[in-house]
Amino acid sequence: MRTQSAPWRAVAVLASVLLVGGVAACGNSDTGGGSKDDGKITLGFSQVGAESGWRTANTTSIKESAAAAGIELKFDDAQQKQENQIKAIRNYIQQKVDVIAFSPVVESGWDTVLKEAKDAGIPVILTDRSVDSADKSLYKTFLGSDFVKEGRLAGEWLVEQKKTASGPVNIVELQGNTGAAPANDRKKGFGEAIAANPNLKIIASQPGDFTRAGGKQVMEQFLKANPKIDVLFAHNDDMGLGALEAITAAGKVPGKDITIITVDAVKDGMQALADGKFNFIAECSPLLGPQLMDLAKKVHAGEEVPARIETEETTFTTEQAKEALPNRKY
């Protein structure tokens, strides 16, 4: 699929001509709009928040990679609020940054601000999470995981584990924040996979906002309302880690009385898996920084980039977690 229409390329070429002209004419002086003409790319990045170990590792990856690539990074933490992200993107447009990248907290409601960036001639890169905009010309590319696949891998593992179950297997699900692509997609993939065995039933499913506190609180409610819980599927490690506290407090043994499946595979999650408190993790890599910087350089230069770049990922059992933990970077 083509990502870069002719008018976009024209704007990019014109921008670089102006940039080069500007450098020749007035050295390092500021253009007045905030974007410097010293040849350095300025990237405005709007991060979701700091809700999980995954997010912290992602932020570190982006900051370190920007420094290594010689890209000037403007960074904003939206504290899981869409309105803050829209504000940050508008600021970046006003400052005339060269490229905007963001990780949308929810999928919907971005068309207006994306159109504003497009009209200002600033290319946008989606990273980690995507948007549901029908107009694909509003952004250049989406770099991130296949969340449906992560959910499906989690579900397929469970189907295999429970293939000899003769009665109902009661599953509870801790979802990510409402409306987020990884919450919608992991739910979808998991649900599709477990449909292979009618004994596997999701008896409760609630958002825990991808945080430990959310996971703990919702798991407490699940345990109170449901005397028989066999499996927990948590959309990330942090909610699973919060749920561990609730499960232990209820006098149950995590990983034995309740099978626990999560997504991410950050260090704390991998430790819980190695300790037998979790049973399976579908990996989701937060180390998107280097690829993002590469893409920023390319779209700034007006080069074509693929419309979708998928992160490579794997899955872990307890044995595999024990092996991988000593070299785990995040």
Please enumerate in sequence order all residues whose Cβ is within 8 A of that of 10, keeping only pairs 6 or more positions apart, or say none: none
Residue numbers 206-235 binding ligand GYE by CB under 6 A? 210
Site string for ligand GYE, 169-188 (x = CB under 6 A): -------------x------
Closer residue to ligand GYE, CB minimum distance, 54 or 222:
54
Choose between 122 and 183: whose C-beta lies nearer to ligand GYE.
Answer: 183
Q: Which is nearer to ligand GYE, 130 or 279 (CB)?
A: 130
Would you say 22 or 242 has its CB closer to ligand GYE?
A: 242
The residue range among 30-38, 49-57, 116-124, 249-257 that interacts with ligand GYE, by the rule CB under 6 A, is: 49-57
Q: Which is nearer to ligand GYE, 256 or 329 (CB)?
A: 329
Q: Among 264, 240, 270, which residue's Cα sits nearest to residue 173?
A: 240
Which CB atom, from 140 or from 186, has the smaller least distance to ligand GYE?
A: 186
Size of the site for ligand GYE (CB under 6 A): 13
CA dist 205 and 214 (Å) reads: 13
Nearest-approach distance from CB 171 to ligand GYE, in angstroms: 19
Q: Which of 101, 131, 171, 263 binds ligand GYE (CB under 6 A)?
A: 263
CA-CA-CA-CA torsion sign (78, 120, 37, 294): positive
Please enumerate in sequence order all residues whose Cβ is within 8 A of that of 37, keeping only pairs 6 or more positions apart, or say none.
Answer: 19, 22, 23, 26, 28, 29, 30, 31
Report how far residue 155's alpha carbon sits from residue 80's, in angstroms, rounded to the nearest whole number.
27
CB of 304 to ligand GYE, least distance (A): 26
Q: Does 52 bind ligand GYE (CB under 6 A)?
A: yes
Residue 236 bridge partners (DSSP) = none
Q: Which residues contact 72 (CB under 8 A, 6 or more apart)?
A: 36, 40, 41, 42, 43, 66
Q: Is position 236 an interface residue for ligand GYE (rule: CB under 6 A)?
A: yes
By DSSP bridging, strand 141-144 and strand 308-310 are parallel
* Residues 125-164: x where in contact with ligand GYE by CB under 6 A, - otherwise, as a string: ---xx-----------------------------------
Nearer to ligand GYE, 98 or 238 (CB): 238
Q: Token digits for 270?
A: 């991998």
Query: Sign (positive/negative) of CA torsion 288, 106, 101, 35?
Result: negative
- Contact between 88 and ligand GYE (CB under 6 A)? no
Q: Of these, 41, 46, 54, 65, which contacts ligand GYE (CB under 6 A)?
A: 54
- Our CB check for ligand GYE shows the closer of 182 and 254 to be 182
Report the alpha-carbon distance of residue 74 to residue 312 in Å, rounded.
Answer: 27
Told to check if 85 binds ligand GYE by CB under 6 A, we report no
How open is the CA angle 43-48-51, to the nearest 5 degrees?
A: 135
d(Cα 193, Cα 197) in Å, to the nearest integer? 9
Residues that bind ligand GYE (CB under 6 A): 51-52, 54-55, 128-129, 182, 210, 236, 238, 263-264, 284
